[in-house]
């Protein structure tokens, strides 16, 4: 049973029980009959109408709160994952990396519905350079965006039921969109993931890091048993002190797998990759634009979990039962008060 307006239950605090108890004891009166003053058991006669009135007031409060019985008419079960994409936008992600490969997925409805970025040059024109001196469109972050967009195209065409969320990070985390089935919105947001490029990188040595942000969001909004954080970074940070153990325990607590794609670095077995393996995920070293895209394809083959969603429901009103009970109790209470006369 659920309540449509539960705040009406606050009326219960107004039950005038102390005032009623404080009233004088009474006696039973009948027409043309001698008054009979109760002795030892007289308090019971006085208490009965009080209890009836209190019960009637309580039933009235419940009736106003509109109790309802919920009936689920149908449910829908499908394979699904909760996937959070996180893209590193620290300054080093502006380094030269190469031109992203052509999409093997090709144009989809996502591309047709996206109007394009007004700050990007038209086709055939030279790409501008950013303040690092690299061409926009050939940076590490541009390749991360291109691979992420292809990943979303695949999810869109597969109609797999995945929910996807997106945030970017440097020393802090900046949410672009929470978990959603609306992949068109995520697709649009990824195109703007490189805005605000600059700053350092924080994997979580100074909380909160990307894993903290993902775990908190999944705790609030997660539904699928398979929970995944895909992080694209150039790995310009380490995990110091007890940060590794803290983040490993955090991922275990929220059943979160970390997949890390390291872009354009020669580091061997970096801390964040070891953390990904400790969570049951994997770390990938992408030394070229094509390798970066291949990493996303491998992650895309992960096992999915089943989610059951209630698709329709009906509610049966129950308030009238309590309303009739309240009326009956008030009438009985009033009758009791009429029989138990005040001194």
DSSP 178-209: EEES-HHHHHHHHHTTTTT--S---SSSSS--
Q: Which class is domain 82-303?
A: alpha beta
Which band of pLDDT confidence, cut at 50, 70 and 90, is reported for residue 255?
A: very high
Specify whether the backbone of 137 is left (phi greater than 0), alpha (psi in -120 to 50) or beta.
left
Q: In sequence order, what are the residues at sequence separation of 6 or more whose Cβ sits closer than 8 angstroms to the Cβ of residue 38?
A: 25, 26, 27, 28, 45
Q: How far is CA 181 from CA 62, 145, 152, 163, 187, in A?
A: 38, 19, 11, 5, 11
Whether the pLDDT of residue 189 is over 70: the answer is yes
Distance of CA 117 to the CA centre of its chain: 30
At residue 88, the 3 state secondary structure works out as strand
Domain ranges of the chain: 2-71+312-342, 82-303
* pLDDT of 115 strictly over 50: yes
Between CA 341 and CA 180 the distance in angstroms is 67
Q: Which of 22-26, 92-96, 269-273, 339-343 has the lowest mean pLDDT?
A: 22-26
Q: What is the DSSP string of 43-68?
A: HHHHHHHHHHHHHHHHHHHHHHT-EE
Q: Is the pLDDT of residue 162 over 90?
A: no
Tell whether the model's pLDDT for residue 41 goes beyond 60: no
Contact of 94 with 140, CB cutoff 8 Å: yes
| Torsion sign across C-alpha atoms 169, 174, 180, 182 | negative
Q: How far apart are CA 104 and CA 149, in angstroms?
A: 11
The pLDDT value recorded for residue 119 is 74
pTM given for the model? 0.65
User: Is there a contact between 199 and 171 (Cβ–Cβ < 8 Å)?
Assistant: yes
- Report the alpha-carbon distance of residue 274 to residue 235 in Å, rounded: 12
Torsion 233-236-237-238 (CA) sign? positive
What's the mean pLDDT in 241-263? 94
User: Which helix (H) or strand (E) is 245 found in, with range?
Assistant: helix 243-253
What does the chain come to in residues?
A: 343
The predicted pLDDT at position 152 comes to 92
pLDDT band for position 317 (cuts 50, 70, 90): confident
Do 193 and 87 form a contact (C-beta atoms < 8 A)?
yes
pLDDT digits (tens, 9 = 90+) for 328-339: 888 887 787 777
Report residue 29's pLDDT band, with 50, 70 and 90 as the boundaries: very low
């Amino acid at each position: 049973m659920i309540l449509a307006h539960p705040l009406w239950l606050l009326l219960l605090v107004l039950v005038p029980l102390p005032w009623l108890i404080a009233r004088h004891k009474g006696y039973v009166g009948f027409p043309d009959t001698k008054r009979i003053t109760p002795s030892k058991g007289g308090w019971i006669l006085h208490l009965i109408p009080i209890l009836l009135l209190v019960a009637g007031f309580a039933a009235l409060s419940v009736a106003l709160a509109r109790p309802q019985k919920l009936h689920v008419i149908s449910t829908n079960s499908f394979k699904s994952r909760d996937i959070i994409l996180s893209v590193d936008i620290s300054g080093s992600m502006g380094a030269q990396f190469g031109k992203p490969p052509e999409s093997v997925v090709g144009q989809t409805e996502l591309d047709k519905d996206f109007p394009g970025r007004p700050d990007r040059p038209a086709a055939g024109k030279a790409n501008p350079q950013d303040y690092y001196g690299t061409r926009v469109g050939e940076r590490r972050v541009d390749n991360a965006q291109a691979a992420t967009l292809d990943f979303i195209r695949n999810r869109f065409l597969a109609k797999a039921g995945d929910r996807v969320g997106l945030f970017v990070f440097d020393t802090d985390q900046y949410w672009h969109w929470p978990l959603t089935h609306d992949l068109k919105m995520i697709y649009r947001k990824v195109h703007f993931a490189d805005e605000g490029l600059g700053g350092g990188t924080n994997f979580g040595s100074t909380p909160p890091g990307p894993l903290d942000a993902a775990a908190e969001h999944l705790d609030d909004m997660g539904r699928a048993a398979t929970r995944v954080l895909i992080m694209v970074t150039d790995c310009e940070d380490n995990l110091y002190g007890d940060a590794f153990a803290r983040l490993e325990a955090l991922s275990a607590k929220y059943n979160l797998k970390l997949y890390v794609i390291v872009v354009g670095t020669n580091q061997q077995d970096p801390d964040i990759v070891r953390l990904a393996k400790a969570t049951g995920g994997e770390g990938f070293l992408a030394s070229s634009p094509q390798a970066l895209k291949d990493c996303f394809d491998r992650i895309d083959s992960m096992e999915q979990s089943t989610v059951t969603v209630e698709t329709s429901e009906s509610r049966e009103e129950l308030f009238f039962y309590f309303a009739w009970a309240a009326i009956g109790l008030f009438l009985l209470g009033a009758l009791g008060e009429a029989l138990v006369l005040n001194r």
